[in-house]
Amino acid sequence: MAKFDPQPQAYGAMDEASSALGLAKSFSNSRRSIEITNAIQRDLYGLMAEVAATAENRSKFQRIDQERVNWLEEQIEILADEVEVPKEFVIPGDSIPGAAFDLARTIIRRAERFAAELHIKMEFDIPIVVRYLNRLSSLCFVLALWENKQAGVEHPSLAKEK
């Protein structure tokens, strides 16, 4: 299998996402963000193993289920209740940890695209992986807003000036 095939592209992007989350975690001053990020990074290792496995062995590596997706949704709701979530596009960079979570979010979106391609074009049965990555990118968006608020930024910079 070539390094540019959909399967290594998908698990490679997940590895990048985990590293970007590690960077965000290292900048964070919030125990809450650090704990959430640690749990996510553990999940990503499970996702990478599942995506890297052969079709015959994939079921042995399945660790992510709807319960983990639900956990992401819960974290999104909890954090979104504590920050202003604008309806407009946000310009990343209001704080260093917030910018790091925004970077992780974009890498997770890439991993999601690769996983979706793998699921559809290569007929990998991994819809839960795609759902998990989708919700994870939304959580990173809210974590960026949360970190910005912790850094004293009450209102995020918006792409469209008011």
Identify the CA nearest to 72 among candidates 129, 148, 13, 153. 129
9 closest CA partner among 84, 85, 114: 114
- Domain assignment present for 154: no
pLDDT tens-place values along the chain, 162 residues long: 767 788 899 999 999 999 999 999 999 989 999 999 999 999 999 999 999 888 788 778 888 899 999 999 999 999 999 998 988 899 999 999 999 999 999 999 999 999 999 888 877 778 899 999 999 999 999 999 999 999 999 888 888 876
For tokens 């918006």, name the residue: 158
Give the pair of three-digit tokens for residue 71: 């956990």
Helices 127-150 and 66-80: crossing angle in degrees, nearest 10, is 20
Q: How far apart are CA 45 and CA 39, in angstroms?
A: 10
Q: Is residue 40 part of a domain?
A: yes
Number of domains in the chain: 1
Q: What are phi and psi for residue 158, nearest 5 degrees?
A: -110, 150
Q: Tell me the residue range of the domain where 120 lies.
A: 6-81+91-149
**Structural domain includes residue 86:** no
What CATH number corresponds to the domain at position 32? Answer: 1.20.1200.10
The predicted model scores a pTM of 0.93
Flag whether 46 is in a domain: yes
Residue 57 lies in a domain: yes
Q: Is residue 157 part of a domain?
A: no
